[in-house]
Amino acid sequence: MIPWGDLMNINLDLFLTFMKIGAFTFGGGYAMIPLIQREVCDNKRWLNEDDILEVVAISESTPGPVAINAATFVGRRTSGTFGAVCATLGVVLPSFIIISAISFVLKAFQESKAVQYAFMGIRAGVLALILKAVYTMFMATKKHAVSYVIMAAALVLTAFLKIDAVFVIIGCAIFGLIWSLIFRREKRDDMD
């Protein structure tokens, strides 16, 4: 049994470490993984390199922000459910404070001509970033007839038929499951 004092130290340490990770990652998600690796593996030795790969693999196949998945997983591994709460709270807090502050500043300046011009430019820049994100994900995915059909169907259903994204996600998940169980025998044999 770990003494109470040590347990509190670990939880406080988790909170502060993930607060640091939250405060110094831009863009979040996968950008956060190298930082987590450095803090959690190299500095604190809470987890090893294999565990980090596990974190990434789980984050990819569970819903929600990658940063939250990673913080919860590391916190739980290190110090149970309360550790998970501390790590998650830590990673969320810097964003929360910074965005709250910016929101008020932005509101004060949103009538300014210069700010409006800046955002006119920024919107076009963000559009380019979204294009890049789609391209990167497209290149990283396995491409075969079924995946092209799913991609096209999801695009058409949301963009042109205005179906709610949640229903498209549920539909594609069910389709993937049924298709895999019926037609992807070779994959199943690999796994068994």
Partner 1 sequence: MIWIDLFLTFLKIGAFTFGGGYAMLPLIQSEVERHGWLTQAELVDFMAVSESTPGPLAINMATFIGIRTGGIFGAVCATLGVVLPSFVIILIVAKFYEKFRKSRAVDGVMYGLRPAVIGLIGAAFLSVGMTVFFPGGFQTSAFGTASIWVSVGIFALGAVLAFKKLHPIAIIGISAVIGIIAGYALGL
Closest CA to 67 of 31, 111, 41: 31
Q: Which stretch binds partner 1 (CB under 8 A): 1-9, 10-18, 36-44, 74-82?
A: 74-82
At 13 the three-state DSSP class reads: helix
DSSP 142: -
Instruction: State in angstroms the smallest separation of the CB of 5 from partner 1.
Output: 25
Q: Which of 6, 98, 108, 109 binds partner 1 (CB under 8 A)?
A: 98
Q: Which of 7, 41, 56, 92 binds partner 1 (CB under 8 A)?
A: 92
Q: Which of 6, 96, 108, 109 binds partner 1 (CB under 8 A)?
A: 96
Q: Which of residues 45-64 bind partner 1 (CB under 8 A)?
A: 54, 57-64
Q: Which stretch binds partner 1 (CB under 8 A): 4-12, 40-48, 89-97?
A: 89-97
Q: Which stretch binds partner 1 (CB under 8 A): 5-13, 40-48, 132-140?
A: 132-140
Could you say whether residue 168 binds partner 1 (CB under 8 A)? yes
Alpha-carbon dihedral sign for residues 55, 93, 27, 40? negative
Task: Tell me, residue by residue from 6 to 45, as one string, x for binding to partner 1 by CB under 8 A and - for no binding.
Answer: ----------------xxxxxxxx--x-------------
Q: d(Cα 49, Cα 38) in Å, to the nearest integer?
A: 10
> Which pairs count as long-range contacts for 167-176, CB under 8 Å and 24+ apart, including other chains?
175/150, 176/150
Q: Which of 67, 78, 79, 90 binds partner 1 (CB under 8 A)?
A: 67
Q: Which of 5, 45, 125, 189 binds partner 1 (CB under 8 A)?
A: 125
Residue 167 CB: number of other CB atoms within 10 A?
Answer: 11
Place of tokens 């110090």: 79
Question: Which two three-digit tokens encode residue 80?
Answer: 């149970």
Instruction: State in angstroms the smallest separation of the CB of 67 from partner 1.
Output: 4
Place of tokens 């640091």: 20
Q: Which of residues 104-123 bind partner 1 (CB under 8 A)?
A: 106, 113-114, 116-123
Span between the terminal Cα atoms of the chain, in Å: 39
